[in-house]
Amino acid sequence: MFIQTEATPDPARLKFLPGREVLAEGVLNLPDKTQAAASPLAERLFAIPEVSAVSLGSDTITVTKAGGDWQHLKPAILGAIMEHFMSGAPVLRQRAEDGKRPAPAGSAEGSSGLADRIREALHQVIDPELGYNIVDLGLVYDVAAGEHGVVCVTMTTTTPGCPATSYLKSGAGECASNVPGVEFVDVKLTYEPRWTPEMMSPEAKEHLGIGGR
């Protein structure tokens, strides 16, 4: 098993790419070891004293260190990742999988406020083709915040098969996962209803020179 590493802008964080699927969908942020029970893989990583946080993506494992040098930490982290995948254990425990289903809107205290903060954060994701944020373009159909920081973002792209689809989904997941209070993000892609320029905000229409009311 060959595991690659990739630097991040934060010197305390390092990405590990195991060359296989980590999560089928979504992003799971585990900000400290008290959350590790959700994932056998995270438990192995948090067993390393210098590991302070873990984030799991579709094919990446991002580790944050509290101290120490990567040159000495990497062998231990690589060993923990390899042991996990060789063991055949799931990345997520069943109860964590069950928790991926968002609770009905408004069922969690403060869920509306969290959804609003996530929607605001999604303004940072820019469609590379149109050069404008995905919220004002009308590409974000719904943001649902359930219990325990579980979030579901339903979005679309301007056209099916859009070459930026992976980029936009990944960007939405990353931005949403960085909002305080978010523990798990599931980004769902849909083309029902199909996107049309009428879905854009007045600001987006003006920016793109499209007449509106």
What is the mean predicted confidence (pLDDT) over 9-22?
Answer: 91
The pTM for the full model equals 0.54
Q: What is the pLDDT of residues 104-130, one digit of tens each?
A: 333 333 567 888 999 999 999 999 989
Domains (ranges, CATH) in the chain?
Answer: 4-98 (3.30.1370.70), 111-207 (3.30.300.130)
Distance (Å, rounded) from C-alpha 112 to C-alpha 146? 9
3-class SS of residue 71: helix
Using one digit for the tens of pLDDT, what is the confidence trace for 168-209? 998 898 888 888 888 888 888 999 999 999 999 999 999 898
Q: How far apart are CA 188 and CA 93, in angstroms?
A: 21
Q: What is the pLDDT of residues 38-68, one digit of tens each?
A: 889 999 999 999 999 999 988 999 999 998 8
Q: Are 177 and 55 in contact (CB under 8 A)?
A: yes
Would you tell me how many other CB atoms lie within 10 Å of the CB of residue 87? 11
Two structure tokens written together for 201: 């905000």
State the pLDDT at residue 104. Answer: 38
